[in-house]
Amino acid sequence: METLLLWLFYISTLYAFIPGLISRMFGFRVFRRGKGEHEFALTFDDGPDPVYTPQLLDLLKKYNAKATFFVVGSNAEKNPDIIKRMYDEGHLIGIHNYVHKTNWLMRPGTVKKQILRTDKIIHKITGFNTHYYRPPWGIVNLFDFSRKNDIQIVLWSSMFGDWRYRLGADSLARRMLNKLAPGEIFLLHDCGSTLGANMDAPVHMMMALERVLQAAEEQGLRSIRIDDMIAQSGGAVAGSGSINRSRAAKPVKLSWFKKAVVFLWLLWEKIFHFVFQLKTTNKEDPIFHFRTRTYHGNPVDMRDGSRLEKGDQILELHFDNKKLFEIGSTSKSTVQLAIQMIRAVEKTLPELAQYIIKHPELGEIKALYGVSMINRGPEQFGFTVTDLPQGFFAKSSTAYLKLLMSVIHPAGQQRLKRHSEQLIPKLIVMPINLLLSRFAVSGSHRQITELDNEPTEPALEATISY
């Protein structure tokens, strides 16, 4: 039962929760706000609707406003004439899945089929493919991030609850006018048939929108398509390159909102630690958290000549994500990041050895165990580094750790781009006897001056186990 709960926790965290947080926190692989002096963007989800979308197109035409429509494929299939009109009148058409269903409840292959099917429908009607995608409810999963130049995920900076009819046109207009500013991406809906929406809600949306378009005209603002906003914000349109390709190697500066989301992320980690009863050697300044469990993987030959086999007891290590984030966000270079992480591990291994000696119930533990995204480094402490068996766990670990590395690494996306072939999660193990013989008595006095003088790659990329 515990194993099942653990896997469910892993899957939900890796597949949905963490990607959602990081897309919101850092805008990773998504476009959610533009730049400009006189432009904002109107985007419409869930349509086309045979009644309301033509009326909306009339309104946009009246004010010479361009918009982006993220269409549901099944609705587009039923209303090809409306899709053709959108295209002919100069609006951008994007994808909102074939059916309005969250990506959290679909396998990666199913999401891909939904996108491709909708794109084929749009191409059949207009003769052109689209590269713009908004997942329903803006919920991304782990594998959405693996779509590189073929798909640009587009979220929003402002939404208003316009799917509720009871909100009313006056209240909706006030909300929209308060957010009317250059660079804003408005999320609106031209169809009320989605679960949770009201069928007649677009009536009030269009009444409010006309007031906004009038105000925009008076203020010298104009609504443009998402691809135009991406281009003027300094990014490349999807299909020809990804936006914001480079990220300077400097400490991460967080707004109050991002700090709040980081807090929620770390709260999620605390829940994980509570559910699975993880322990640490230093509650004030933890580096590793750990728990005992039974090993279920392939045999591994370790540094002392012994072999870790299925059924052996292991101490599973989990790097403290708060510490990892602090190190990554304050490091000014990859070398500095590596030095801080090596020193943190160097400090903790003697503490861990003493902990095991003081707890006789851990006498059956055969090895330390973890999963790490690594090039070189743990071997100097006595770890054996080996490949993970091919499969879902290896693939999901790779995707998640690359995602996390792009956030905490000072070189960010540049690091991923230059050395993506090296960013592969590895299994690391150390026999307990080796840990005790090296670190239990006098601790580790290993010097890292050779790393201090190393101008290129860090010794330790990241150590995060699941």
DSSP state of 130: -
Buried b (16+ CB within 10 A) or exposed e, 76-106: bbebeebbebbbeeebbbbbbbbebbebbeb
Tally of CB atoms within 10 A around 36: 18
Separation of alpha carbons 287 and 352, rounded Å: 10
Are 432 and 367 within 8 A, CB to CB? Answer: yes
Is the link from the previous residue into 458 a cis peptide, with omega within 30 of 0? Answer: no
Q: Which residue has the tokens 């059956």?
A: 364
Residue-wise burial string across 4-20, b where 16 or more C-beta atoms lie within 10 A, e elsewhere:
eeeeebbeebbbbbbbb
User: Contact, 454 vs 385, CB < 8 A?
Assistant: no
Element (H, E) at 431: strand 425-431
Q: Kind of pairing, strands 462-463 and 365-373?
A: antiparallel
3-state secondary structure of 31: strand
Residue 375's nearest CA partner among 462, 316, 307, 268 is 462
Which residue, among 316, 353, 347, has the nearest Cα to 439 in the 3D structure?
353
Residue with tokens 């919920």: 139
Q: Are 182 and 221 within 8 A, CB to CB?
A: yes
The span from the CA of 49 to the CA of 19, in Å, is: 31
The CA distance from 183 to 56, in Å, is: 22
d(CA 458, CA 321): 19
- Residues identified as active-site: 45, 189
**Diameter of the chain measured on Cα atoms:** 81
- Whether 408 contacts 247, CB under 8 Å: no
Strands (E), 349-417: 365-373, 384-387
| Pair 237, 131: CB distance under 8 Å | yes
CA distance linking residue 428 with residue 237, whole number of Å? 41
Count CB atoms within 10 A of the CB of residue 184: 21
Place of tokens 């896997």: 7
